[in-house]
Structure 1
Amino acid sequence: MKALYFEKFGDRDVLHYGTVQRPKIKSDEILVKTDYIGLNFADIYRRRGEYHIEKHSPYINGYEASGIVVAVGENVTAQKVGETVLFVDVPFANAEYVAVPSERAIRLPENIDSKLAASVGLQGLTADFLAHDLGKNTPNEKVFITGISGGVGQLLSQILIADGLEVYGSASSEEKKALALDHGVRTVFPSRETDWVESIEGQFATVYDGVGSTLQQSLDLLKHRGKVVFFGMAGGNPIKIDPVALMSESKSLLTGDLWDYLTSYQERKNRSERLFSYFERGKIKISEPTIFSLADGKAAHEYLETGKSIGKVLLKPGS
């Protein structure tokens, strides 16, 4: 089979496209012929050697894809040959075929196609758990999202709006600001400036912060008894927090890891059904993904790494 692989860590020039051995499935696994493969910033970090990557010779990156089940192990009952599935946490996804543990495969509803699923899988499930497991907001509350037009931010904002919340946020460009406003966000502030912060301090029940370096700003935006949901460091490391300072205004800092919630086949099924229901009801719209052939993996990495993307970047085998 064809795959995008590398033999040493480094910049995107270490990537190669060529033939590797097709995986053999175990009794509790299924073989998926990939249709669309999600490219994420974690894959950039893995390629550089800055993030855990599963051992393999050669290294095959990627953990997220959608595709067709072409074989099932003898103990598998949850999937059948011919079904379309999504997975978001299975290694060696940058290939034409992937061996997927049955419990990690998410069967797609008939009205959710494989391109949409790969476009929203990892970021969508992340947004869902941030909103419903950590944020737990009630209708009409005011919330703020830093980096609101990022992959998670786009989906999170629309989930929260659909749940009846007043959503505000920050973005780094006019294009990204317009995108968020089109999704129903009330006001979008320029993330590269700070003169607006003081005017809205103390107004929000929850601030969702995936930027990291903005953590103090996020705490300042909270009203008393508010909470920051911290989920990433896209803009750099956060400051150190004094819990006594938080206590004086009854503010909370919450964090979480999606993998502590996607712990079983049933969890994946329930959470993906809730996520897909927003699309089925027309509550979420996304930017069209940018699609590269798997053979053009270097170009795809460059496109994502240099900040040219707004929507999801997908790799397509055999194109």
Structure 2
Amino acid sequence: MTIKEVSRIKALYFDRFGGPEVLQYGILADPKLHDNEVLVKMTYIGLNFADIYRRKGTYHIEKRSPYIDGYEGLGMIIAVGKNVTKHRLGEKVFFVDVPFANAELVAVPEDHAITVPNDLDDKIIACVGLQGLTADFLAHDLGKNRPNQTVFIHGISGGVGQILSQILTADGVNVYGVTSTKAKQKVALQQGAKEVFLRNEPWLQNWLEHFDTVYDGVGITLEQSIELLKHRGDLIFYGMAGGNPPRVDLVTLLSQSKSILTGDLWDYLTDYWERIARSRRLFKYLLNGSIQISEPTVFPLKDGVLAHKLLESGNNVGKILLKP
């Protein structure tokens, strides 16, 4: 396929903010390829909570009329700009921070495209892209846990939580966590966690000041996370999937020598070579079998409304992918 053969593309889009019902599927103009970009024919597109927030109008979204959501996906390069030197036609790549991904074709800056090893399955890479790089950065840049330390993960069965748990387990760390259902509890235990609690059951009082590190991407659980930490422990705060965190009493933290560490992946994923180094480290866990991925739920791109509804329901265990 060449650029000339594709003048119109099918995409999932919306022209006003709101619920899943604002999403439409139809034909739009193809993306314009700049000199430093590659044109990627999409195989899988990752759906993330950030896409929900963008659709609602509560999170930054690139200006466009109509709006096209999505920032993550995997596919094959079918055209290259004249200044591109790092990639070639026919190469399989994925990306985690390129707008307008909910479409058949996406124009990707060459420095944002990450080459995929031939011996890794497309669906696996599509499942671990953004969440995998996030988990890698949390474990190796913020947590820096040593073998035999004991850690706790809120939302251990979520997209980041599953991969983070397995990375830490592979690194010799003892992993505990909490989740919402018995099905999700079973998955987390199968992936190597020592013990996984159900959120609606009493468990907290038995584990106060027990953990070296607590990973919290939920937000509203921040006070609970502090209670779970040992003195001199570290709380890794990386998101607000459950709502805004409460105010923290820094004097109490000081008296117990507890620390809160925060970070944004985009302050670490700063250039092409950072993307390559970090993705290769993540790929090693996949290639040696340390990370097992729950089977994703795949929706045709035209059924984006159903995909958004499922993600918002919280009933999915694995990644949700869209397929053009």
TM-score, normalization by structure 2: 0.96
* 1:178 to 2:165 alignment: no
* 1:163 to 2:171 alignment: yes
* 1:291 to 2:298 alignment: yes
Output the amino acid matched with 1:218: S
The CA deviation at 1:117 is: 1.1
Output the amino acid matched with 2:310: Y
Output the amino acid matched with 1:26: H
* 1:24 to 2:36 alignment: no
Counterpart for residue 264 of structure 1: 271
* 1:90 to 2:77 alignment: no
How big is each residue's C-alpha offset from its partner over 1:195-215, in whole Å with a ceiling of 9 and x where there is no partner? 321211111110001111111
The CA deviation at 1:118 is: 1.1
Counterpart for residue 100 of structure 1: 108
Counterpart for residue 141 of structure 1: 149
Counterpart for residue 242 of structure 2: 235
Counterpart for residue 205 of structure 2: 198
Q: Distance in 1 between matches of 2:203 and 2:69?
A: 41
* 1:308 to 2:298 alignment: no
SS in 2 for 1:110: coil
Counterpart for residue 3 of structure 2: none
* 1:188 to 2:188 alignment: no
SS in 2 for 1:279: helix
Q: Distance in 2 between matches of 1:51 and 1:229?
A: 22
Q: Distance in 2 between matches of 1:137 and 1:177?
A: 23
* 1:9 to 2:5 alignment: no
Q: Distance in 1 between matches of 2:77 and 2:249?
A: 50
Output the amino acid matched with 1:151: G
Q: Distance in 2 between matches of 1:34 and 1:97?
A: 6
Q: Distance in 2 between matches of 1:221 and 1:307?
A: 25
How many residues get paired?
A: 316
Q: Distance in 2 between matches of 1:223 and 1:307?
A: 31
The CA deviation at 1:290 is: 0.4
Of 40, 44, 47, the match for 1:36: 44
Of 279, 283, 288, the match for 1:276: 283
The CA deviation at 1:110 is: 1.2
How big is each residue's C-alpha offset from its partner over 1:151-198, in whole Å with a ceiling of 9 and x where there is no partner? 1000000000000000011111111111111011001111223x3212
The CA deviation at 1:10 is: 1.1
Of 219, 225, 230, the match for 1:223: 230
Counterpart for residue 6 of structure 2: none
Output the amino acid matched with 1:239: P
Q: Distance in 1 between matches of 2:111 and 2:83?
A: 12
SS in 2 for 1:20: strand
Output the amino acid matched with 2:134: T
Output the amino acid matched with 2:166: Q
Aligned pairs for 1:38-57 within 5 A:
38-57=46-65
Q: Distance in 2 between matches of 1:308 and 1:219?
A: 28
* 1:251 to 2:258 alignment: yes
Output the amino acid matched with 2:140: H
Q: Distance in 2 between matches of 1:57 and 1:310?
A: 33
How big is each residue's C-alpha offset from its partner over 1:116-165, in whole Å with a ceiling of 9 and x where there is no partner? 11111000000000000000011100000011101100000000000000
Q: Does the 8 Å contact 1:86/1:114 carry over to 2?
A: no
Q: Distance in 2 between matches of 1:45 and 1:236?
A: 12
SS in 2 for 1:130: helix
Output the amino acid matched with 1:153: G
Q: Distance in 2 between matches of 1:76 and 1:192?
A: 53
Q: Distance in 2 between matches of 1:203 and 1:304?
A: 32
Runs (5+) with no aligned partner, structure 2: 1-8
TM-score, normalization by structure 1: 0.98
The CA deviation at 1:309 is: 0.9
Q: Distance in 2 between matches of 1:113 and 1:81?
A: 19
Of 120, 127, 134, the match for 1:126: 134
Structure 1 runs of 4+ aligned residues shifted over 3 Å read none
The CA deviation at 1:273 is: 0.5
The CA deviation at 1:308 is: 2.2
CA RMSD of aligned residues (A): 0.8
Q: Distance in 2 between matches of 1:313 and 1:32?
A: 20
Q: Does the 8 Å contact 1:147/1:191 carry over to 2?
A: no
Output the amino acid matched with 2:323: K
